[in-house]
Amino acid sequence: MTLLHVHCGDEAAAVARRARLPGDVLAWRDSSAVGPCSVDPATHRQLRAGWWSVPAEGLQAAADMRHDGEIALWFGPDPWEQLALVEVLAGAPAGTHAIVPLDSGVGTLQPADLPARFERCLRRKGRSWRR
């Protein structure tokens, strides 16, 4: 099983990399919890790029995410992370997605906390992971 773990922000992704779960880690760096947005994807990307003062082609877009395996989404309960999760789910490629339930952001956890949470997520889907 090839995995892509998507985390909200660089700090959360750094914790995830130290957890040594199988697969790759991607830091998601935007959320419409702040700044302008639009329902039109092209307009949305332009507005977000202007808000962050970056070129539009340098801004992440879920529709551009390419992965041929499972995507594990690790987004905490705060509004920033929840709106980022909505955007990722709305634009992510079709395929198997797993949402790892969190009661706080990954950036507040220890790397050793992540494997058990990931295992619980997989068990709900009738699967298991072992190091």
The rounded distance, in Å, linking the Cα atoms of 63 and 86 is 13
Show the beta-strand stretches assigned E in the chain. Answer: 3-8, 24-28, 70-74, 97-99
pLDDT higher at 33 or 62: 33
The DSSP string of 30-45 is --TTSS---SSHHHHH
68-123 tens-digit pLDDT: 778 899 999 999 999 999 988 887 777 667 889 899 989 889 999 999 898 888 78
The pTM is what?
A: 0.86
Question: Which domains does the chain possess?
Answer: 3-33+67-124 (3.40.50)
pLDDT higher at 67 or 3: 3
% of the chain surpassing 70 pLDDT: 92
